[in-house]
Structure 1
Amino acid sequence: MKHLPQNNEANRDLSNAPAAIDVLNLSKRVFDASGELTILHDLNFTVPASQTMAIVGASGSGKSTLLGLLAGLDVPSTGSVKIDGVDIFKLDEDGRAALRKQKLGFVFQSFQLLGHLTALENVMLPLELRGDQFSGSQAREKAEQMLGRVGLSSRLTHYPKFLSGGEQQRVALARAFVTEPPLLFADEPTGSLDAVTGAAVMELMFSLNRERGSTLVLVTHDPKVAELCDRVLTIAAGQLI
């Protein structure tokens, strides 16, 4: 991944930027046959708007659990997460889903493309889920433009099974960015890719993120990817280091 550029904005002063994410006393506990298990313990941190942040740590440290909590996909045992000032755990499940639809984009390690939809239809889907905001023709045009931006104009009608891993991840990037969300989450976005393809995908992700000025939070095991972010959050045994 040596050809990946360093983030030119890594030394930005973001201290006065409004908070995109504000985490207060966040903990997650579960119960198994041996009793109570603490996955995350009393986490406190803020992510300023437009910042890029990597969450790193050993396998089982709680990285993906934290990402799920930040996105409101899981519920904490204690504590709060505010997105743009809204305490997401004071919303019901439908309210959190509506917030995700309006404000969040996701990139997953396993791509999570729908196999029965073409590349174009996969990217159109989040636009169509927004209801009356985009007509069918508007959603198609915007999705085509986004797939062109990631270099897949010639693959619009291909189904995921006919795309390489790198192409599938680029479709996933296009889908995540097409709604221009203010906040983007990525969970090990290069974990299923070889080193060269992974480097190209990360370069594209950071490029798209800079263009749109969104806040990016990613989970990664790769220190070279983490170095590209404005900030690195390290978790060990469920606690911040």
Structure 2
Amino acid sequence: MNRRGFLASAGAVLSLGVAGRRTERPPDPVVVRVWFSDAAAEREGLEARVDGYLTAALEAAVGAAEIDFAPSPVSLPAEDGRHVLAVHWPAKVVEGAVGVGRVDPVADVNLLVTDGDPREQPAGYARPHVAAVTGAEFIAKMSPVAETPSVVPYSIQSAATQLLLHEVGHALGIGHEHGSAERDGDAVVASPMVGSYLWASRELREKHVSDRNACGRRVPSRTTASERRLRLRYAECAVQALK
């Protein structure tokens, strides 16, 4: 079997297994297993920040979440780039799911965090049950979740942290249409599934952000407010979809 056929068949096996387990035991928490790249694992405080922000957002959305960290880092050919995020990592997860790799995946989300630059595209990637993000350096610099409000000013640190929620949301089955952007005085506040796309180039914004979304509200123009803010919790329509 060629590589594409192997990944497709293994992915189908993984998806079927997930569907069966989630249906049989709906009270189970959503489990996110997190792997760090070799370089990301050197960032002091990263594990606490990933744990704190994912737990806070997921528990508010689905009621119970478990963030599980793999015991050892993953060696990668690079810390960023489409091949690493969208090909290399998903292949490792699928190989582990069918018992031919060292990665031991879980049923819900298998997340890779690398030390790549989140200002370079692609900064993240996701497919069902698999996600990858860059930005470990900046996530580690965020203040502890207990000291941070759910809406924060836009910065590289907050954007990289929100990217965790964005890609995990995709891995759990929600899309950009489950995001919201709202006016709050002189600011526009973007939720995780819209996120930084709101202030991206016109081409990217039009591709990923619609005028109306599943939350039933119009997305305001980025030019109508002087301040950018990011919400570190999922929008109401995302919560309904996740439940």
The normalised TM-score by structure 1 is: 0.29
The structure, 1 or 2, with the larger RCO (C-alpha pairs under 8 Å, 6+ apart) is 1
The normalised TM-score by structure 2 is: 0.28
Larger strand proportion, structure 1 or 2? 1
